[in-house]
Amino acid sequence: MKLLRLTATATLTALALTACGGEKIGETPAAGGSAPAQDCGAFNLAVNPWVGYEANAAVIAYVAEKNLGCKVTKKDLKEEIAWQGFGTGEVDAIVENWGHDDLRKKYIDEQKTAVAAGETGNKGVIGWYVAPWMAAQYPDITDWNNLNKYAEQFKTSESGDKGQLLDGDPSFVTNDEALVKNLKLNYKVVYAGSEAALITAFRQSEAKKTPLIGYFYEPQWFLSELKLVKINLPKYETGCDADAAKIACDYPEYVLDKIVSKKFADANGPAYKLVKAFTWTNDDQNLVAKYISEDKLSADDAAKKWVEANPDKVKAWLAQ
Amino acid sequence: MPSLVKDRRRLNRPVLVGAVLAAWVLIWIPTRGLDTLGLSPADLTPLHHWLNDVNDTVGANRNSSPFFLYFVNEIRAAVDSFVTFLQDLIAQPSYGRPVPVLGWLGVVAVVAYLSWAFAGWKPAVLAAAGFVFFGLQGLWEESMDTLALTLGAVVISLLIGIPLGIWAGLSDRFHRLVTPVLDFMQTMPTFVYLAPLTLLFLIGPASATIATLIYAMPPAIRLTAHGIRSVPRSAVEATESLGATGWQKLTGVLLPLSKRTIVLGVNQTIMAALSMVTIAALIDAPGLGKTVIKALQTLDVGTAFNAGLAIVVMAVVLDRVTTAAGDRARRTGRPSRFRRPLLAVFAVAAGVCCYLSYTYFWAAEFPDDVSIGSDLSKGADAVARWAQEDLSTATEALKNAVTYALLNPLEALLVQSPWWLVGAVAVLLAVLLGGVRAAITTAVCVALLIGAGLWQDSMTTLAMTIVATVMVMLLGVLFGVWMGRNRLADRIVRPVLDAGQTMPAFVYLVPFLALFSATRFTAIVAAVVFAAPVAIKIVADGVRAIPAATAEAATAAGSSAWQMITKVQLPMARSSLTLAANQGLIYVLSMVVVGGLVGAGALGYDVVAGFSQGQLYGKGLAAGAAIVVLGIMLDRIARASSPSKGSNHP
């Protein structure tokens, strides 16, 4: 019974504490009511899983919330699923799209649930890269003609008697098997399988001075940590990638763009106008991406920092 | 069975198996490279194209088909509102309030109260400490989102799973029917059905919950059925002779006597649900999984570790509480006379805490000035960096040794052999080890792998799976025997095993990649980390279950420790070893997709790429099915060859 009494006392003490106990919920007015009274409504923004995209989304969401008074819901989704969301009404906008001709065909041309909403201003580059120390030590490695000379160095436990070409963030289209074959390179494509795997591999390559050649792309936050050097493959010309099996040229430059749902575009609300007007440079994106990845700011804080430093650009988007 | 036959079989079997393997190698030498049925990662077969088309058709008809409008949408709405309700209750600002209905104090109080009432003092203290720890980590809201989603999935799993389990326990026919379906649900990689699920159930809590429960429901069904089947015949016959109706038999005998196994099923369902947290985050499931995935994008090991640790703690708390509740369900001692009044008093105390956390900010929002989350992150970062910089030379050597000595030769044999050779060897081995039935299953599985168009990738994955399973069993025997013989070792190692089982792989992928590069070996190591704990636990339990009298007799006869292990403990724990190998294999297969993210290539990569690129969807689906087929094939051969088959069923 002693225990019982103890508990009862504890309960009473707790009750007594509440008498003097702190701020009550519901007493203070709800925060965030200061946004301009504009009829923006709900805005469902897809966030694809890479930092560059997150930078675009962060800034757009920040401006939409603060300047337009939208109720922004960010949804963390892979590209495929985000596109799917246009049809089901779960997603309003994708704000960094890398090509994806198959998805364009399916959702814009066939199902007619999505429409393009202009370029983001960012240019996407895909290609083969080496760590800076390699380019410094073997300057001629950046010419693809010399790659076979170095194949021996790139041998790993995965590539047998050939050099290893580390490929494969599975989200990106790769022509590398065809390239290796058609350029008669003595390499084997090894599929790393994720962006994390590629970045870790390049990091270790630089830190340990071990040879590595692999598939990478920009804009990418990692390049501000380690400036990878691109290999020059035979120049891209329109149509040289028409037949997938015969590709023997570099990747085209991707013009990154925005895709929105048909409904969202037809409603033509303030959030749509903002998405359509949004455009910035690779440097802008890299800066915000750096805030997020290296300085570890939250997406919102990173956006705030950039928006406050670039009022003119934001004003230009809103003016349209 | 006449002992003569048995002896002959035992003598001949290894010789014949050896002969088959030797013949394989001999035929391999002249035929290598023939008919290997390779398919490069970007190439598709007609089957893959057809699967793509099916997917597109479903998507195009999503908004017009009555099946969706009146059936799928209703399910979605019900699941959505249930999970959203749970989130409103404990995780998200709701009902016009800036905070959820129950704040941290209320949740901690309720969890502690329930743990105490169902499991006892110790689990209650552990539960309260664990939940406060989430707050200290700075992850209160994320943890509660995860808890809400997990609870939602578990409740629905049990509502459906336990009745189905009872049915499977009572009806042999239904049991036979449902077992392969459950195998399928547990081994089909989640990546394969995430995208179709969001197409069916849209993006949101409903899809995430359903993805989770597909994986989490099978243990509930299996263990309920197993519990009911294990009720002694005599008990059932006794009630039958008293003229009990079916319902009386069920509620009076079968359910009470299988209560403990059913609670184990609940426990396993919770664990399975928690293991889906990170994957469900890929379709916008709220909670800790998102933190892990976000951290992975910037290779932020520390933050990922902090969130992963919260998942581990949640798993350990829920595991210990449900296990203790299960043990109590078995005990039939009289409760102490204080129990009733204490129940009431603590209920009032918990109620007060709930009221406080409903009313006051200090009890609703976890104070953020006492966070230890960033220290944990920094510590994990430092350890990871040290390992990457100082250990990676040694680990590279280890990787190369295993790859060149074991993996590459095995893979060469499997991948470069003509398909008909591997198929013939597999069927012959199945005949020798299991018998005609196993051989038929194997033949069908070989045909399915070829039909899926992914024969060569399947063989590459099979080679990795075999190496990983061998490593799992080595660890399983080594640590299992040690833990089985030594209580202290058990107590020290067990939490590490729990962490290995529940820490999301995404947390340790980056350090592993640094240590072992993007290679097949990294995939194997990740699989071993996940699968070895299960094998170790099963072996340890098996060793411990050996009657003390046997061990004493051996000691009295002057056995050394080594003789004791090799002559008494391992032979007597043989059925546990078989079970450990079986479970180890299934767990290894469930990591094939994670392996695809770190350089394993083959089926794992096919699945990942299928999830990421629309035109590869069909191929990813076929690859997922191939993983299931591999699992069924290996499992059936192993099960048919196990000496203890059927011993669980009286």
- Mutate which: B49, B63, B203, vs A, most A CBs within 10 A: B203
Interface check B456 vs A, CB under 8 A: no
| Inter-residue contact B609 to B528 (CB < 8 Å) | no
What distance in Å separates the CA atoms of residue A288 and residue A120, rounded to the nearest whole number? 15
Q: Torsion angle of alpha carbons A268, A269, A270, A271, nearest 10°?
A: -90
Domain boundary assignment for chain B: 76-98+141-338
Contacts B365 to A, Cβ<8 Å: none
| Res A3: pLDDT | 55
Please judge whether B345 and A7 are an interchain contact, meaning their C-beta atoms are less than 8 angstroms apart: yes
ipTM: 0.83
> For chain A, what percent of residues have pLDDT higher than 70?
89
Contacts A286 to B, Cβ<8 Å: none
Residue type, A233: L
Residue type, B82: F
Please judge whether B297 and A85 are an interchain contact, meaning their C-beta atoms are less than 8 angstroms apart: no
- Tens-place pLDDT, residues B400-446: 999 999 999 999 999 999 999 999 999 998 888 888 888 999 999 99
| Inter-residue contact B509 to B597 (CB < 8 Å) | yes
Q: Torsion angle of alpha carbons B17, B23, B27, B33, nearest 10°?
A: 20
Contacts B64 to A, Cβ<8 Å: none
| Res B109: pLDDT | 93
What distance in Å separates the CA atoms of residue B498 and residue B275, rounded to the nearest whole number? 12
Interface check B42 vs A, CB under 8 A: yes
| Res B646: pLDDT | 38
Class of domain B76-98+141-338: mainly alpha
- Nearest CA distance, A124 vs chain B (angstrom): 18
* Mean pLDDT, rounded, for A281-292: 91
What distance in Å separates the CA atoms of residue A297 and residue A299, rounded to the nearest whole number? 6
| Res B647: pLDDT | 35
- Return the number of CB contacts < 8 Å for A and B: 215
Beta strand A187-191 pairing with A254-261: unpaired
Please judge whether A201 and B613 are an interchain contact, meaning their C-beta atoms are less than 8 angstroms apart: no
CB atoms near residue A286 (< 10 Å): 21
| Inter-residue contact A288 to A303 (CB < 8 Å) | yes
- Nearest CA distance, A170 vs chain B (angstrom): 5
What distance in Å separates the CA atoms of residue B135 and residue B112, rounded to the nearest whole number? 15
Which numeric CATH code is attached to A42-122+254-319?
Answer: 3.40.190.10
**Of A7, A81, A168, which is closest to B349 when you measure between CB atoms?**
A7
Contacts B388 to A, Cβ<8 Å: 204, 207
Interface check B210 vs A, CB under 8 A: no
- Nearest CA distance, A144 vs chain B (angstrom): 23
Domain boundary assignment for chain A: 42-122+254-319, 124-246
- Tens-place pLDDT, residues A123-178: 989 999 999 999 999 999 999 999 999 999 999 988 888 999 998 777 777 888 88
Check if A42-122+254-319 and A124-246 are the same fold. yes
* Mean pLDDT, rounded, for A7-17: 56
Residue from B587, B590, B606, B594 nearest B457 by CA? B606
- Nearest CA distance, B332 vs chain A (angstrom): 24
Give helix then strand counts, H and E, for chain A: 13, 9
Contacts A8 to B, Cβ<8 Å: 345
| Inter-residue contact B516 to A200 (CB < 8 Å) | no
Interface check B596 vs A, CB under 8 A: yes
CB atoms near residue B230 (< 10 Å): 15
Helix %, strand %, coil % for chain A, to 5?
Answer: 45, 20, 35
Closest A-chain CA to B390: A208
CB atoms near residue A253 (< 10 Å): 11
What distance in Å separates the CA atoms of residue B127 and residue B111, rounded to the nearest whole number? 7
Please judge whether B204 and A90 are an interchain contact, meaning their C-beta atoms are less than 8 angstroms apart: yes
- Nearest CA distance, B79 vs chain A (angstrom): 17
Please judge whether A7 and B614 are an interchain contact, meaning their C-beta atoms are less than 8 angstroms apart: no
At B435, give phi and psi (nearest 5°).
120, -175
The pTM of the full predicted model, rounded to 2 decimals, is 0.87
Contacts B600 to A, Cβ<8 Å: 193
What distance in Å separates the CA atoms of residue A96 and residue B389, rounded to the nearest whole number? 35
What distance in Å separates the CA atoms of residue A100 and residue A41, rounded to the nearest whole number? 29
What distance in Å separates the CA atoms of residue B130 and residue B132, rounded to the nearest whole number? 6
Closest A-chain CA to B297: A50
**Of A90, A196, A201, which is closest to B296 when you measure between CB atoms?**
A196
Give helix then strand counts, H and E, for chain B: 35, 0
Max alpha carbon distance in chain B (Å)? 81
Report A:247-276 residues touching B (Cβ under 8 A): none
Least confident span in A9-18, A134-143, A197-206, B345-354: A9-18
* Mean pLDDT, rounded, for A190-218: 90
- Which residue numbers in chain B have pLDDT < 50? 1-8, 644-650
H/E run at residue B620: helix B617-641
At B504, give phi and psi (nearest 5°).
-60, 135
Please judge whether B60 and A194 are an interchain contact, meaning their C-beta atoms are less than 8 angstroms apart: no
Interface check A87 vs B, CB under 8 A: yes
Interface check B490 vs A, CB under 8 A: no
Please judge whether B338 and A208 are an interchain contact, meaning their C-beta atoms are less than 8 angstroms apart: no
Interface check A88 vs B, CB under 8 A: yes
**Of A76, A100, A191, which is closest to B284 when you measure between CB atoms?**
A76
In sequence order, what are the beta bridge partners of A114? A261
Contacts B364 to A, Cβ<8 Å: 25
A124-246 CATH choice from 3.30.70.2860, 3.30.360.10, 3.40.190.100, 1.20.1440.230: 3.40.190.100
Report A:177-196 residues touching B (Cβ under 8 A): 177-178, 190-196
Residue from B576, B482, B462 nearest B527 by CA? B462
* Mean pLDDT, rounded, for A100-105: 86
Interface check A90 vs B, CB under 8 A: yes
**Of A22, A87, A177, which is closest to B59 when you measure between CB atoms?**
A87
Please judge whether B517 and A8 are an interchain contact, meaning their C-beta atoms are less than 8 angstroms apart: no
User: Who contacts B604 (Cβ-Cβ below 8 Å, separation ≥6)?
Assistant: A193, B461, B523, B592, B593, B594, B595, B596, B597, B623
Max alpha carbon distance in chain A (Å)? 88
Interface check A21 vs B, CB under 8 A: yes
Residue from B269, B323, B263, B77 nearest B157 by CA? B269
Contacts A110 to B, Cβ<8 Å: 60
- Nearest CA distance, A303 vs chain B (angstrom): 17
Q: 3-state DSSP call for residue A160? A: coil
